[in-house]
Amino acid sequence: MPEPGVTFDREKFLAVVHWIIEACSGDLDKLGQTKLHKVLYYADMLSYVARGESLTGVDYVKQPFGPTARYLGWALRELSASGAIQVRSRAFHGLSKQDFVLQKPCATNRLDAGERELLNDVIDFVCGFSAKEISEISHAKPWESVRFGERIPYATAFLLLPPRAPNAADREWAELKAKEVLASGHAG
């Protein structure tokens, strides 16, 4: 069953992937496939929490190294075939790492200023960690809530938020309920 506020938009997904690669193009060590998955995941989930709508609508799947965007491989092939990016593999700390080399600037007509700002903030957050560190961080409650290979519902994005302290309205409601319970004689 589709989730409210979640519709996969192929063109928007391509634009978001392209934007992320362009934003990280000055440093090949900054972004690999693991971090690209995490930037997409956090941007989509934060968009869902803030606006009630995902940024791209892509499905995220629980994998051992954290949430992964279902169609990222397709998007990278499309962007590469169109000449927008080049994907190269190289040895990095004894492992194979994909580099994304920008060939053409991203057309921003699919992304509004707020979306670009969100993406830039998430890029700064994710790229402040190593791939291993951000993978471990992404093993949060939404990831834990499903089995390996299953889709992570967007509604679980609210589990990423820290619990908030009760405010005055919360305390007022609790006091009112406590008085009702005491008045009813059900206090114990």
Domain annotation covers residue 3: no
Domain annotation covers residue 171: no
Domain count, the chain: 1
Domain annotation covers residue 88: yes
Domain annotation covers residue 18: yes
Domain annotation covers residue 187: no
- 8 Å CB contact between 97 and 32: yes
Domain annotation covers residue 178: no
In terms of residue numbers, what domain contains 115? 10-161
Paired strand residues for 100: 87
Whole-angstrom distance, CA of residue 145 vs CA of residue 162: 17
Residues 6+ apart with CB under 8 A from 12: 55, 56, 57, 110, 111
Domain annotation covers residue 98: yes
Domain annotation covers residue 180: no
Q: What is the pLDDT along the chain (188 residues), one digit of tens a residue?
A: 678 899 999 999 999 999 999 999 988 889 999 999 999 999 999 999 999 999 999 999 999 999 999 999 999 999 999 999 999 998 877 878 899 999 999 988 899 999 999 999 999 999 999 999 999 999 999 999 999 999 999 999 999 987 777 788 878 888 888 887 787 765 55
154 phi and psi, to 5 degrees? -60, -30
